[in-house]
Amino acid sequence: APNYDLAVLHTSTPSFASDVRVVKSLKAANPGLKVGFVEAKIAVEPRASLESSPAIDFVAGNEFDFIIKEVAQDRDWNTIAGLSYRDAAGAIRHNPPRAILENMDELPFVTPVYKRDLTIENYFIGYLKHPYISLYTGRGCKSRCTFCLWPQTVGGHRYRTRSVGNVMEEIRWAKDAFPYVKEFFFDDDTF
């Protein structure tokens, strides 16, 4: 574990200014806090994102789940592929991009994290049976829809999927852990 407190925020272009204000408030309360941002805006504009506020210590590009794991494991930031960060002198540094994950079965199941950290009954979407669990089984998309930012920014244009057996194993686990769930929703674009 790192020798500092760590916060990671999922941001977007519309929420970015508000997210920066939240980070400034968090750092005012905890000056030793290290803060990073993830998601599409960051993958497209790592330098501009860091330049927008000295309160942002790092941003993580593609495959950010692995990048954040390495930050949380206290790896030296200059060795973490896909990380852009502010060094001790305040200079912005960009590490080489992270390789795209090919074996999607390497991803840990998300449902144990839901069990540990969420009261899923508190989450509601009008088009799903309540309570529900939402998860992804793939990344990327072969389509080239002009209205969608995901393949152009973080997912890529190759659709990579978890194996059927891996997905079945997670759903089996989740059904035992959440016997009251009425719907499992696969949030994949092309599933």
What are the pLDDT digits (tens) for 124-135? 999 999 999 999
How many residues can be counted in the chain? 191
Q: Is the pLDDT of residue 189 over 70?
A: no
Q: Is the pLDDT of residue 191 over 60?
A: no
Q: Is the pLDDT of residue 37 over 90?
A: yes
Regarding pTM above 0.85, the answer is no
β-strand pairing of 83-86 with 92-94: antiparallel
Q: What is the pLDDT of residues 102-127, one digit of tens each?
A: 999 999 999 999 999 999 999 999 99
Q: Look at residue 143 and give its three-state secondary structure.
A: coil
Q: Is the pLDDT of residue 153 over 80?
A: no
Distances (CA, A) of 132 to 165, 174, 182: 21, 11, 6
Q: How many CB atoms lie within 10 A of CB 144?
A: 9
